[in-house]
Amino acid sequence: MEQAYGYTQMRINYIKDHAKTIYEQTVQLENTWHNRNNFNTDDETINKYFENQRKQIEENIKYLNSYLEPRD
């Protein structure tokens, strides 16, 4: 597999996939926030959802950062 500047095409694909996933999770978070008053649920459930989304986004950011670091 061809490598240049510490990256391969597969590594770049992983970076793109993780960035896309982070974006999609952020859009879901935003949509939930905008529609929070329309849900027929209590605040605790919505808070748990936001906390879970935050953790998932943080995990994906961690993976993204690991692939952003070039390899020799």
Structure tokens at 23: 């974006």
Cα gap 28→35, rounded to integer Å: 11
The Cα 11–Cα 36 span in angstroms is 37
Integer Cα distance of 1 and 16 in angstroms? 18
The pLDDT, as a whole number, for residue 57 is 97
**pLDDT string in tens for the chain (72-residue length):** 899 999 999 999 999 999 999 999 999 999 999 999 998 899 999 999 999 999 999 999 999 999 999 987
